[in-house]
Amino acid sequence: MNAPLTPELFTAKLEPSGQQCDAWADQTLLDSIEMGGLNWPSSCRNGTCRTCLGTLTAGSVHYKIDWPGLTAEEKAEGCVLPCVAYPDGDVTLQDPEN
């Protein structure tokens, strides 16, 4: 019998505060950040209101929706919507309070 598959576990870090939490591959970054006890602004949780807009400074994410409310320019600048972004590995985000 095969063992059940466990989702990959990464780390989400906020800079420059250095706060960090677990970031599971099968959960949005926002869910992981909140479950890790870190503060991050949020509202709609579907990628449209942009309240959670942040900047990814290291690592990469993917989306399960075609176009998550970001312009091509914003994506090129590292902008992410944590409410609909899934980590591909360890990630670092600019702390929203800085």
* Residue 31 lies inside a defined structural domain of this protein: yes
> What type of residue is 24?
W
Give, in order, the Cα–Cα distances in Å from 15 to each of 73, 78, 92: 22, 14, 7
Residue-range definition of the domain harbouring residue 81: 10-94
Which tokens hold the place of 72? Answer: 């091509």
Phi and psi, residue 30, nearest 5°:
-60, -45
Instruction: Please check whether residue 38 lies inside any domain of the structure.
Output: yes
pLDDT tens-digit profile of 12-47?
999 999 999 999 999 999 999 999 999 999 999 988
Which CATH number goes with the domain that contains 87? Answer: 3.10.20.30
Q: Which tens digits make up the pLDDT trace of 41-67?
A: 999 998 889 999 999 999 999 999 877
For the whole model, what pTM was predicted?
Answer: 0.89
Tokens of 94: 């600019």
